[in-house]
Structure 1
Amino acid sequence: MALMVLIPPVIIYETHHNLAMPIHSYQAFLQTASKILLDANNAHQHSAVIIINLDGLPKLDGILGYTEVDEILGNLVQQIQGALNGKDITGPSGRHQICCLLSDLLTTNHAILAAHKIMRIFTQNHYFNRRRVSLLPRIGVALNSTKKDNLKQLMCNASTALYHAQRNRETIRLYDDNEKALLLSGMDIWSELDRAIDTDELQLVFQPQLWISTGTIRSVEALLRWNHSSLGFIPPDKLVQAAEGTELMTKLTLWVLNSALRQCQEYRKAGLSTGVSINLSADDFNDTELVELIEQAANIWCVPPGDIMIELTETTIMEDQNNSLETIHALKNIGFKLAMDDFGTGYSSMERLLLLPLDEIKIDKTFVKDMLMYPAHEHIVSSMINIGHRLNLDIVAEGVEDMETYKHLQILGCDAVQGYFVGNGMTLSELISFGLRLKAVGRDALC
């Protein structure tokens, strides 16, 4: 997985005796930085590498042109150089990246302070030919804590930190040795995922949602599972993270869509008048053909759009709000149902609820599982239910694990529950048996 792309020679800034002097090649920057770091190591000085990636610049390549974007990058290099200490050097390290070597730091904490100082530069408005440009910076920081690391290792570590900053949508991320292992694990998962999709090694299980007023299953959430022969059980979030940003994301989403709807058709034929909920990631909304793919899958398996709930996370909306909203409204116009998953744990706001054509919100289990123990949690759950109902939304409580919690949610007016109390993730055959039994004997099937 490439985290850094070298670019043709550009002007880099080196400082000698507190006087900034241009270096005219990337190779010269590396040579100078290596020498400075070696001197710092020999002098037992603290040092660090900072890599800044500008997520907003790739779009500008096609709008303004490469030369103009290079000019923007060069101006930023000068601003950053001016904000740092005289012995630090700064220069582009990739097509849309800037690298800083900080030497002679008083403590390693000063590297984080420098990163925040750099970030303040990007809070200012930046213009090119009187047009405001969006830079969207992410920063990775690697500390030379052992005072033995070479430049190559530090830049690799800073790139790893940057990768995790982008993945977790953070502005600044400090390198952690444990994250290197996570990144390597993600590469192993990614390399195996394509084969797993083709060979049906992946599996879907279904967790029922109980409609409180009738005691029947209103829908089931399709949950992705993968038990790898050598890697063991791979959590769904790690699986999705490995696929995000690659061509495998679309392939994985298509597999989930078609598998969920095919099995939905099977349990409906067996006598369960039940819909299905399918989770989409923020990365799915980068696919311009997403709406068409979902509609085609629904038509192939003859499942009405009104029986298909698309579950969104709050991150989905935050990642690229305009494009996401357009896609969400397109799905709604076709007739698909929309739910906000894990409500209350991210960027929830009343404004966002008003923007989205939702049908339901799912209260995160964080608030539900301890609501009988902590009054504050109970107040939050009660408020969410009341607000949701005022907006004509159905409310699903996740993480319901016992009868007492279920009964209290019933008193509060919650519409549906999901969790161990109703049932764990079930295979298709288990779901059919459970659903038919519940249909025959009612809520007593849960006891």
Structure 2
Amino acid sequence: MQFKSLKSRISVIFLSLILVIQVLSSIAIKLSIDKNARRSVNQQLEVGERVFLNLLQNNGESLSVGARILAADFGFKAAIASNDHETILSALINHQSRINADIAIFYSPNQNSLVISENLSENEVSEKIAEVIYTAQSDTQKNNFTIFKNQPYQLVAVPVKAPLTIGWVVMGFKINNSLANTLHKLSNLEVTFISQAGKNPWHSTASTMSVSASEQIVKYTTERHAFNKSNNLELTIGDVAFGTRYVSIFKNINESLYVVLQRSIDEATAPFQTLLLNFLILSIVGMLIFIVSILYVSRIVAQPIVELANTARKLEQGDYTFNVDVSRKDELGKLSSAFSSMRTAIADRERSITRLAYWDEMTGLPNRASFMKELNIAINKSEINHEPLSVLVMNLDRFKQINNVLGHDFGNQLLHAVSIRISQVFRKDNDVVARTSGDEFAVLLPATDASLAVNIAQKLLQAFEKPIQLEDNFVDISAGIGIASYPVHGNQIEQLLNFAEVAMQVSKAQKSGPVVFQPSFDVGSNVNLTLVSELKKSIYNNELSVFVQPKVNLQSRAVRSVEALIRWKHPTRGMIFPDQFIPFAEQTGLIRDVTLWMIAEAAKVSVAWLQKGMSIPIAVNISARDLIDSDFPNKVAEILKATGSNTSLISLEVTESSIMDDPHRAKQTLLHLSEMGIKLAIDDFGTGYSSLSYLKELPVSELKIDKSFVMHIEASQNDRIIVNSTIELAHNMGLHVVAEGVENIDAWKSLQEMGCDYGQGYYMSRPIPISDFETWYQQWA
């Protein structure tokens, strides 16, 4: 067929397509409905068969129970013994009525006696009853069926014993319309009983269907022997198709009885016909809408223009890899050629813009935007592969001073040299190194957890141990490094990079090497902002508590002093330990209030103990912010005066790192405190960057070895050497030594042998509330 216009071609093709789809869909749905309906009918017939067999079983059990009751009746046995037929018949009729049976028979082969409740002759009954009794002798629970005068019965035979068998009680139900209607109600199926006795033709004994329908079933059975075929048949009665199932009730040489179960296929498909009708209506409506749309579109749009529209759409999406067909020679061909030229020009400009947008020209590394893009891709990949990843952020120390002293050009050269040295440390195929701001670099480490990232960061710092040479200048480089990991610390790209930067700031402030992010670092988080406010309120409302841990003389076992430890029992969050709120208290400056509160509480407790005869000094930890506060000693003096305490009952402990933040101001504060008579101690010795040569200039009288060295002195020879050497050097400088982390008797004895003065740890006591200390003290003494 030839079409004069593109419009006609589009319209006819699409209209033909939609018509074919609709017709095929309708046929497929119709066939599916018919198939499912017939499957459903067959399933209902199978269920109906099981229901019918259960019904017969229940009837048989009912008959059996009734017959046994009669067979056990003493009066009935007496009537049998006296051969009183009238009494026997009366008992049969009464019991038959009681259990709603249709027939009751007593048969005694010995006495040649036969009593029948129904109007049946002995000749009609005797032979068949003998067969029933013969069958029952082997299985009294078995249901028996027989036909009297073309009426089928379900029979049960029970022996009458006194104690030997003197006869049999036989009871039964008719296979009639009552049974058919009961089965119809239970299964919602049409039920017809058909039977044949001797040479008599097949006939219907009971049915839930009309007489004419029953006759058609009998005719079909007679002509085609349907009961010899497969279980499920399809039989048309009148104009209605029925799923049909023949179920054999009993069959012997002379007699047969079947139940024919039927379900109308039309009724089974009726609910689906409504669904099919609705589908057809919706299809017609949809097809009309589609026809209108196709006619409209085909009228106003031609295929070449559609192609150019697709080209423009690809350009809009940033896809410049396709080729534009410029083979046409007409106006559309010229338009296509213009599109091709435009694609090439835009692609070139896009590459230039992308380079500027995602790369740092100075170092040749990806910039922050590119790093964020790669981080987003890496997080999605890690989520799929269930792998961790880490972000490492490094910020150079003293870069501003270098810029100011040596100039910006030199600073730019230094940044380029730093980027080269950083790139040499990492895996080029997997790791992403980027310059995220002026003197800050970030590294993406796929498939790397925080512990492995720390090892990599240590290698990075080692790479900068050798100075960088630029012309005639050698520059020593140091840096703070922060680490955050997915998914432990966060699953958002901005959040993860921000956490790494927060950890980097902590690293620069503490000069402690690589630092892994902790939630307590993030003062800006909602939780910590809330905790800051609540901590300030708790300090002024005196809601904090003091725990103490004793320091014991390792030689005499005497309690020399205790260390005060703060605890915060939050009303809703429960117990909050110091490592959860002290870091952000230090960042916000709130640590000064915490320290003064602790000194005040310690002073009050020491005075109370002294009044009870316990002269036990209490040591309080102070922070770097306290050391750079020139007025701190005066505040301590005011507290001691207000509480009635004295400087012999209070000592202060300060960490190495807090002294090294500002050594000059820290030294001045410590000298002032020492002049007041307060004893000072260096806490956590061995974890910072100080040395004994510097510490000898400070007015301290005690040195506490960090527990990280003490806890493993039995297993680690290196730790044992470090602890022993520290004790000897400290003693040579006139300092007492306290070993933290004494966990067992073996550590105690080892420290005794080394000459350590005091021990502190779980072996003696865990941190305990002030209220429990006196009990512990008495037990220890």
What's the TM-score, normalizing by structure 1? 0.67
Determine whether 1:208 maps to 2:550: yes
CA offsets 1:281-333 (integer angstroms, 9 cap, x no match): 23432333322222322332233324322112221233222322232222223
The answer for the alignment partner of 2:607 in structure 1 is 265
Distance 2:357 2:659 in 1: 49
Match of 1:228 among 570, 594, 606: 570
Q: CA deviation at 1:222?
A: 0.6
Deviates more, 1:113-122 or 1:249-258: 113-122
Alignment check: 8 A CA contact 1:363 1:396 kept: yes
Counterpart of 1:156 in structure 2: which amino acid? Answer: N
The answer for the alignment partner of 2:692 in structure 1 is 350
The answer for the alignment partner of 1:311 in structure 2 is 653
Distance 1:388 1:282 in 2: 23
CA offsets 1:71-98 (integer angstroms, 9 cap, x no match): 998887677679899x9985747xxx64
Determine whether 1:331 maps to 2:673: yes
Counterpart of 1:422 in structure 2: which amino acid? Answer: M
The answer for the alignment partner of 1:415 in structure 2 is 757
Counterpart of 2:602 in structure 1: which amino acid? Answer: A
Q: For residues 123 and 187 of structure 1, do their structure 2 counterparts lie closer, same or farther at Cα, with a shift above 3 Å needed?
A: farther
Q: For residues 334 and 134 of structure 1, do their structure 2 counterparts lie closer, same or farther at Cα, with a shift above 3 Å needed?
A: farther
Counterpart of 2:742 in structure 1: which amino acid? Answer: V
Q: For residues 404 and 168 of structure 1, do their structure 2 counterparts lie closer, same or farther at Cα, with a shift above 3 Å needed?
A: same
Q: CA deviation at 1:348?
A: 5.7
The answer for the alignment partner of 2:733 in structure 1 is 391
Determine whether 1:241 maps to 2:609: no
SS of equivalent residue, structure 1 residue 251:
helix
Distance 1:118 1:405 in 2: 35
CA offsets 1:107-164 (integer angstroms, 9 cap, x no match): 9999x999988997898699xxxxx99997434577999xxx9975565354344345
Q: For residues 422 and 141 of structure 1, do their structure 2 counterparts lie closer, same or farther at Cα, with a shift above 3 Å needed?
A: closer
Give the unaligned 5+ runs of structure 2.
Answer: 1-353, 381-388, 424-431
Residue pairs, 1:50-129, within 5 angstroms: 53=395, 92=437, 98=440
Q: For residues 79 and 197 of structure 1, do their structure 2 counterparts lie closer, same or farther at Cα, with a shift above 3 Å needed?
A: same
Counterpart of 1:425 in structure 2: which amino acid? Answer: P
Give the unaligned 5+ runs of structure 1.
Answer: 1-13, 23-28, 127-131, 438-444
Q: For residues 205 and 100 of structure 1, do their structure 2 counterparts lie closer, same or farther at Cα, with a shift above 3 Å needed?
A: closer
Counterpart of 2:780 in structure 1: which amino acid? Answer: L
Match of 2:623 among 254, 260, 281: 281
Alignment check: 8 A CA contact 2:391 2:500 kept: yes
Q: For residues 78 and 195 of structure 1, do their structure 2 counterparts lie closer, same or farther at Cα, with a shift above 3 Å needed?
A: same
Higher alpha-carbon Rg: 2
Distance 1:430 1:106 in 2: 51
Match of 1:255 among 597, 609, 621: 597
CA offsets 1:333-390 (integer angstroms, 9 cap, x no match): 3222111222334446332342332211123334444445556555544433332222
Distance 1:182 1:387 in 2: 36
Q: CA deviation at 1:204?
A: 0.5
Determine whether 1:424 maps to 2:766: yes
The answer for the alignment partner of 2:780 in structure 1 is 446
SS of equivalent residue, structure 1 residue 245:
helix
**More RCO (CA 8 Å, sep 6+):** 1
Distance 1:21 1:374 in 2: 51
Q: For residues 279 and 72 of structure 1, do their structure 2 counterparts lie closer, same or farther at Cα, with a shift above 3 Å needed?
A: farther
Q: For residues 300 and 72 of structure 1, do their structure 2 counterparts lie closer, same or farther at Cα, with a shift above 3 Å needed?
A: farther
Alignment check: 8 A CA contact 1:421 1:446 kept: no
CA offsets 1:245-279 (integer angstroms, 9 cap, x no match): 21312111111121111221221122111211111
Q: CA deviation at 1:39?
A: 11
Alignment check: 8 A CA contact 2:595 2:621 kept: no
Q: How many residues align?
A: 403
The answer for the alignment partner of 1:441 in structure 2 is none
Distance 2:497 2:728 in 1: 51
Counterpart of 1:354 in structure 2: which amino acid? Answer: K
Alignment check: 8 A CA contact 2:464 2:478 kept: no
Measured on the aligned residues, the alpha-carbon RMSD in Å equals: 5.2
Counterpart of 1:446 in structure 2: which amino acid? Answer: W
Match of 2:507 among 165, 181, 187: 165
